[in-house]
Structure 1
């Protein structure tokens, strides 16, 4: 192949014009260069339809319809799909999984150019000459990208290497204009990490209470262009993403259950978010996973030799990780049991599928022609920088979850939800609300909790419940709470704290508190004016007296002899369980019979239970 003239390269990189001469002649790829596409700042790639393929104008089937059709076909076949929790092992076989996780670093600049990292700006508006491999351009390592990378490696308990180097990984694809990707294959910046997974992280029951997964290495590398498929076999290319800094986290092949693999990816995302190393999570495309899967017979474990592995590329959800591993494991076992041979290949997975699909043969080290990058020197990381970053990591998720459970009395599920929601911003919002609430309680001289709750937990549980569940209900009408990394949203933390302060002191009812929350969310109450709004509309809780509750209780139990008989049977030992349902039935009658806005269910229940034990039952026994 002769030299390609610079003018030809320029036409390809800037305008999408690709020569049909030489080794590219007869290829299947052609670049659309209409002025309309150029004006939109997108590069467009159009793929010729292979012979025998469906025509381009065939209407696409909606995903929801496809899933329904697949469910019908599965039902018609008489096969039952196992629940994942019951499908972690196959008798006689061992599954082995290794994972490669790609995460986008939280930086302002790209890895080898000063262009800004942008995800929502005009396509192709942040592209430096080196990003599109303009002849004569050189990579310039942006030192600031190293900070979040090292923080991520420390959170994953890795050893930071004092010297690391960059390599070129060669392959040709339209999303990689240089024809190679710069990565750290031979000399990564971090090695020998580990991640502890616990039962609360969602690991398979077969792994017990905890399991440690080793990390072989973490390497820095550049991202490719963003490809967007549109009708008509056209693919749009946005080079804003070219050169965006990534880290690739490579685990050891120590995972043997699909649920544990999904739990590991979820845990890694949580750790990266906790140290502010990455821009977003799996649900928004900031983290992607490639899964390596192999199986072997149990009797072959002693040999130490693993089965032939296949790679499943670009899984973009935790459920996809687990489902794809199960499907590929079952496929490989079926091949081996039939006497076949598992081929080393790269496979794909789509939402709703029951099988993986072949993409291409598996590339190896020779195929990529790894070589040291001659344009980049070694990266030297000083021990002083490592120690400084280690000292500023803060509290990592496992320690924080333990604190939420032990100090504040949260359930494990609620503690983990607070940590994971909004990329870690929800837990910061909780702390902001709690701090403001406790400040109000101290000022009012009522910071002590109820005597029937552990010290310091009642108001914290109240804040956690509202930050999770009541705030979550707002998302039913608005997909975005406007949550910021510093823990603020469309409901200012000081306003939610004001609502909870009055609710905690029983100055307003739960119903009024929820109405105030919605009013704040809709902007109907100015910031910091919650108390004034309660005062203006006279929403204060003027609760009934003990005598009023007792009179209502006497009224509603009239004619409920059968219900009261259940309490008598419990007292006499004829039934073991206290008739809680009957009690709540009577409480409901009291709440409906009393004046709206002046009653508290807990007070009604307490008075009713007292009268059942000391008035109604003694009366029934005396008859």
Structure 2
């Protein structure tokens, strides 16, 4: 957290009349205080073992990985990729995730102020949002609906009675000095989410893996901090009090890519049931990851011994040098219970650290890899992992320490005296279950089985544009089947996916929005209208135009859409003169002779028939109007090359 200069903070208090002397000033380090600080920082330092007392003899873990990569490269191997960096032989990684998602509601959680973050700063703020004396929270019942839809989609058990608690801490973005959350009695528990290979999980996890969800709770968001030059921070209270859900997983993830896949799938699920409409790319979803490592061989023996200890067993068993009794203590995590190491029968986990506020799927995977490698490096040097909160910056290679767990003020959780319990009727749960809609896994299965798509393409369709690309794809297929193409739905699906997902995905323009250049809405509307794209695909399949010409027309349809012009596919083909007119045999032969390379010809005559594809490519490049058919070009080349045989 950036430090605020006292002169800036004083200006906000008592009209700027707070005296500087003795107030909000940096404390002078007395000799006694300095000695305490030195002892504290010494306990955080890495203490080398006897074997590594000589610095020159120690090899850092990251350097060891680089040296191994260089050795593999010298032996003809390839550089380590993320795919190959999911599992280490001697160490086991364990990850638990907390996902914070903004609910799709018109009002805030405890006030009637509008729920928006896009309007002018501080224009949607109620008295309770800024903790004005005498103001009271009023639970907005409609915020419960998207929260319940999310919990049901995550296979959770809905608790008929839940309650709100106060989590006390002081920070400028929390004007009341506490956050209202559901710590003790959340509204949903004991869920799970199943991840498949096409979701992007690590290959070590096989075809599928199920991750448990401990609980889902409602809570309020904080104000938005806008940093300015000169250590100035502005606050936008439009965001304070926005309704969030926090999804807490069990520590059952052991590979970085699986962790990223879980966050990605949770976002897709929440969008599909209309619980949350803003994803990571828009700041509506954030993830905190809890990372720990343990030595497989050493700690497996320790874990086995711990499991054999009865209630009267030893209290000082250690794993990775950390006291297990302290690790599961209720005060271990800044006053919170240990959510990731002392429940569901999980024992023997290493000391964990928490990485806060990860805002992209790539950041989740990269931060976990970096923190895993850092912890292994510390432990191999004989050090101890400190329970602490760490940060991550995109593009960096190391996590950074933000604050320690030890010495943090207790959150002092207590039931909120101003809010009654939330009672949820079974009739409401039944109604939401019946109207939950089709979840992403079912949509993907339909696309694969009925439309002939690959699981990877199906997942991309479902996840892009908040599901809008999927709706657009179905519209294009329906329009194509209305034309005299004489194709089944699965064949039409395979034809359309190439254009909807791949060709349209590559369209760019200086006037286009970077995040959504095609302006695809959640309902499937697009600036390239579905009937016009279907006609374009139809003409390609009927050999009325070539694929190369079709790409030119697609780009023109895109440009017209950006300008707000409504144009027909046939009109654009007529204007550009791109209707396919086959070349004559003489024209093919002339073009073939113009690209002959005698070195390549000799290789083909010597038996390397595949080299002819190079010459076919040369003919295609010389074709400015897209009239060259690859098969006709290959036949013309073979005929010309045969003339060189003796």
TM-score by length of 1: 0.78
- With over 3 angstroms needed to count, the CA separation of the structure-2 counterparts of 1:278 and 1:425, relative to structure 1, is same
1:342 matches 2:385: yes
- With over 3 angstroms needed to count, the CA separation of the structure-2 counterparts of 1:532 and 1:209, relative to structure 1, is same
Counterpart of 1:390 in structure 2 is: 433
1:100 aligns with one of 98, 101, 111 = 98
Alignment of structure 1 residues 278-293 onto 2, 5 Å: 278-293=276-291
Alignment of structure 1 residues 425-440 onto 2, 5 Å: 425-439=468-482
Counterpart Cα distance in 2 of 1:264 and 1:238? 31
1:556 matches 2:592: yes
Counterpart of 1:504 in structure 2 is: 541
Counterpart of 1:529 in structure 2 is: 568
Aligned 8 A contact 2:370 2:397 in 1: yes
Structure 1: where are the runs of 5+ without partners?
1-10, 30-73, 450-454
Q: How far does the alpha carbon of each residue in 1:499-547 deviate from its partner, in whole angstroms, 9 at most, with x for none? A: 2233233222323322322222222684363334434565433335xxx
Which secondary structure does the structure 1 equivalent of 2:261 belong to? Answer: helix
Counterpart of 2:523 in structure 1 is: 486
Q: How far does the alpha carbon of each residue in 1:5-40 deviate from its partner, in whole angstroms, 9 at most, with x for none? A: xxxxxx999999577489x943679xxxxxxxxxxx
Superposition misfits of 4+ residues, deviation over 6 angstroms = 11-16, 77-81, 363-366, 557-570, 592-595
Which secondary structure does the structure 2 equivalent of 1:100 belong to? Answer: strand
Q: How far does the alpha carbon of each residue in 1:586-611 deviate from its partner, in whole angstroms, 9 at most, with x for none? A: 53465578894544335655x669x8
Counterpart of 1:402 in structure 2 is: 445
Alignment of structure 1 residues 347-358 onto 2, 5 Å: 347-358=390-401
Counterpart Cα distance in 1 of 2:623 and 2:118? 55
- With over 3 angstroms needed to count, the CA separation of the structure-2 counterparts of 1:90 and 1:101, relative to structure 1, is same
Counterpart of 1:452 in structure 2 is: none
Counterpart of 2:629 in structure 1 is: 600
1:367 matches 2:403: no
Counterpart of 1:7 in structure 2 is: none
2:376 aligns with one of 312, 333, 337 = 333
Shift, 1:550, TM fit:
8.0
Aligned 8 A contact 1:492 1:527 in 2: no
Counterpart Cα distance in 1 of 2:522 and 2:14? 39
Shift, 1:323, TM fit:
2.0
1:469 matches 2:502: yes
1:540 matches 2:590: no
Counterpart of 1:8 in structure 2 is: none
1:111 aligns with one of 109, 112, 115 = 109
- With over 3 angstroms needed to count, the CA separation of the structure-2 counterparts of 1:364 and 1:307, relative to structure 1, is farther
- With over 3 angstroms needed to count, the CA separation of the structure-2 counterparts of 1:505 and 1:235, relative to structure 1, is same
Shift, 1:459, TM fit:
3.0
Shift, 1:294, TM fit:
1.7
Counterpart Cα distance in 1 of 2:631 and 2:109? 59
- With over 3 angstroms needed to count, the CA separation of the structure-2 counterparts of 1:487 and 1:15, relative to structure 1, is farther
Which secondary structure does the structure 1 equivalent of 2:410 belong to? Answer: helix
Shift, 1:85, TM fit:
2.7
Counterpart of 1:257 in structure 2 is: 255
Aligned 8 A contact 1:459 1:504 in 2: no
Shift, 1:483, TM fit:
2.1
2:532 aligns with one of 462, 485, 495 = 495
Aligned 8 A contact 1:295 1:306 in 2: yes
Alignment of structure 1 residues 236-275 onto 2, 5 Å: 236-275=234-273
1:516 aligns with one of 538, 553, 564 = 553
Aligned 8 A contact 1:117 1:241 in 2: yes
Counterpart Cα distance in 2 of 1:549 and 1:384? 74
Aligned 8 A contact 1:282 1:316 in 2: yes
Aligned 8 A contact 1:553 1:590 in 2: no
Counterpart of 1:166 in structure 2 is: 164
Counterpart of 1:205 in structure 2 is: 203
Counterpart of 2:183 in structure 1 is: 185
Which secondary structure does the structure 1 equivalent of 2:184 belong to? Answer: coil
- With over 3 angstroms needed to count, the CA separation of the structure-2 counterparts of 1:379 and 1:526, relative to structure 1, is same
- With over 3 angstroms needed to count, the CA separation of the structure-2 counterparts of 1:603 and 1:177, relative to structure 1, is farther
Counterpart of 1:36 in structure 2 is: none
- With over 3 angstroms needed to count, the CA separation of the structure-2 counterparts of 1:356 and 1:520, relative to structure 1, is same
- With over 3 angstroms needed to count, the CA separation of the structure-2 counterparts of 1:131 and 1:158, relative to structure 1, is same
Aligned 8 A contact 2:578 2:625 in 1: no
Structure 2: where are the runs of 5+ without partners?
1-8, 28-61, 70-78, 307-346
Shift, 1:457, TM fit:
3.5
TM-score by length of 2: 0.75
Aligned 8 A contact 2:588 2:636 in 1: no
- With over 3 angstroms needed to count, the CA separation of the structure-2 counterparts of 1:360 and 1:591, relative to structure 1, is closer
- With over 3 angstroms needed to count, the CA separation of the structure-2 counterparts of 1:186 and 1:581, relative to structure 1, is farther
Which secondary structure does the structure 2 equivalent of 1:369 belong to? Answer: coil
Counterpart Cα distance in 2 of 1:220 and 1:482? 32
- With over 3 angstroms needed to count, the CA separation of the structure-2 counterparts of 1:290 and 1:534, relative to structure 1, is same
